[in-house]
Amino acid sequence: MGGVAGPASGDVVVIVAFDQVQLLDVAGPLEVFTTANRCGAGYDVRVVSPDGRDVVTSCGLRVSVDASSEQLPGNPHTLVVPGRRDWRHATADPGLVPLVAALAARTRRVTSVCAGAFVLAHTGLLDGRRATTHWELAPQLASAYPGVRVEPDLVFVRDGHLVTSAGVTAGIDMALALVEEDHGADVARDVARQLVVFMARPGGQSQFSVRMTPPSRHPLLRRVMDEVTADPSVPSGIDALAASAGVSTRHLTRLFRRETGMTPGQYVDAVRLEAAKALLSSGTASVEEIAQQAGFGSSETMRRVFQNSLGVSPTVYRARFRTTGAGA
């Protein structure tokens, strides 16, 4: 499985492969860029390895490479650095880190997928920069490379010409966003349709559902959280929640901060945001109706929460996520 060269256009995309790399970290962006060529883009995708030899991925599949780094054009357009879960082996690889550093120095746009952020951090490229990785690895990235401003909850993060993404499928989201940046929304939408994936999760979207937050060990707080998630449209102001729980607003706020890291209002907004996203992507109700159903009360309130949390309006979110199939 090597890269498929697109039409000559100068848009050379280099994907670095190495032994025990996660297969989807390589295959996801590779499929996006090569599919984009069938939709009108002109990427020249090359897969390289530190020694120019084929590599064996973490699942045991052998991946062939297209060329050694010496055979690449002088200034590639995009560099993709995938990762491996045991990132310390990657950063200790005497051939991998120098290769990435050398390629990054002459590439216009440098990206990483999942634990590939550790390799970029090891080169010093992420010092003083915002970056993300798989949520489970984010504390390790922050600890091992304190100069990196780790954003643990985002799908992908852009800081200048550097773009880092979260675990595995987030590499597809990032690659789709880069295709959109290069060739417009229509081409990126065609690619998403071909690959049967969403078009595309905004980078600021959370990596995981608020409902996947580990349940609180405190029975009172767990009851309040369950009440909110069961029906986000019911009145859920801090005073109403506290009264329902039989405690003061100050005590409930302290519990929320201690157990979840959020205020009650932030938790309620997060649950309502998820409900609204589901309704926008799967239903036909108007934005105003969805704002009522999700508990926001008005479309303007919902719009502010969407803009602050995702960087897009509810209308734009719906356009990106709703099914594009004619018969759906």
Catalytic residue list: 114
| Whole-number Å distance between alpha carbons of 155 and 265 | 23
Compute, in degrees rounded to 10, the torsion defined by CA atoms 113, 114, 119, 120.
60
Nearest Cα residue to 203 out of 154, 164, 166, 159: 154
For 185, how many CA atoms within 13 A lie in the half-sphere containing its CB? 8
Contact by Cβ (8 Å): 46, 198? no
Token output for 231: 């029906």
CA distances from 311 to 182, 205, 317 (A): 20, 9, 10
In this structure, the number of other CB atoms found within 10 A of the CB of residue 166 comes to: 32
| Whole-number Å distance between alpha carbons of 145 and 120 | 10
| Whole-number Å distance between alpha carbons of 173 and 165 | 8
Beta bridge partners of 150: 131
**How open is the CA angle 113-116-119, to the nearest 5 degrees?**
155
